[in-house]
Amino acid sequence: MKLVILDRDGVINFDSAQFIKSPAEWKPIPGSLEAIARLNQAGYRVVVATNQSGVGRGLFDMDTLNAIHGKMHRAVQAAGGRIDAVFYCPHAADSKCNCRKPKPGLFQRIGACFNVDLAGTPSIGDSLRDLQAAVAVGGKPLLVLTGKGEKTQADGNLPEGTLVFPDLSAAVNHLLIAS
């Protein structure tokens, strides 16, 4: 099975320092929805792995998170694509959970649910913790410069072998050429 793991905020949709707290605040980055559709057309399953500490902080509830993800699913479908699953960590940043990236828990759950070894699986994110979570399970880290990506690149310390792209569309172009 061909699988790609995507972060949500800053990769698929615009990020906000104040969190995406409602469906109205969820706005796709130009080209991202079509990029997901291209992955699907090439036979990839697309999974989202996202930290959503706004739930743990009480900024929004699970119904709101589900409504945000509903809007994302509908937007991707309107572009001809599909997101096969969304895995999220609802815990606050100071929690001791294993699912908050950079810890590998979300990725381990993805591997278990899809019954796949994630070694070599492309994982596209905009922050160092996205890349570190991918590396922790043997995945292939890809950084996009949207969202927090430019700052992440400027801060350095990227995992060895990290590929860098202007946005999700460019990262998908690379994956499709390479596969």
Whether the link from the prior residue into 102 is cis, omega within 30° of 0, is yes
What residue spans of the chain are helical by DSSP H? 32-41, 53-56, 62-78, 105-114, 128-136, 149-155, 168-178
User: How far is it, in rounded angstroms, from Cα 29 to Cα 61?
Assistant: 24
Active site annotation includes 9: yes
Active site annotation includes 63: no
User: How far is it, in rounded angstroms, from Cα 93 to Cα 104?
Assistant: 15
User: How far is it, in rounded angstroms, from Cα 134 to Cα 122?
Assistant: 8
Treating both helix axes as pointing N-terminal to C-terminal, what angle do 32-41 and 62-78 enclose, rounded to 10 degrees?
Answer: 70
User: How far is it, in rounded angstroms, from Cα 74 to Cα 131?
Assistant: 27
Q: Which of 7, 126, 130, 167 is catalytic?
A: 7
Question: How many Å separate Cα 174 from the centre of its chain?
Answer: 17
- Unique residue bearing structure tokens 């699970």: 62
Q: Which of 9, 15, 126, 167 is catalytic?
A: 9
Positions annotated as catalytic residues are: 7, 9
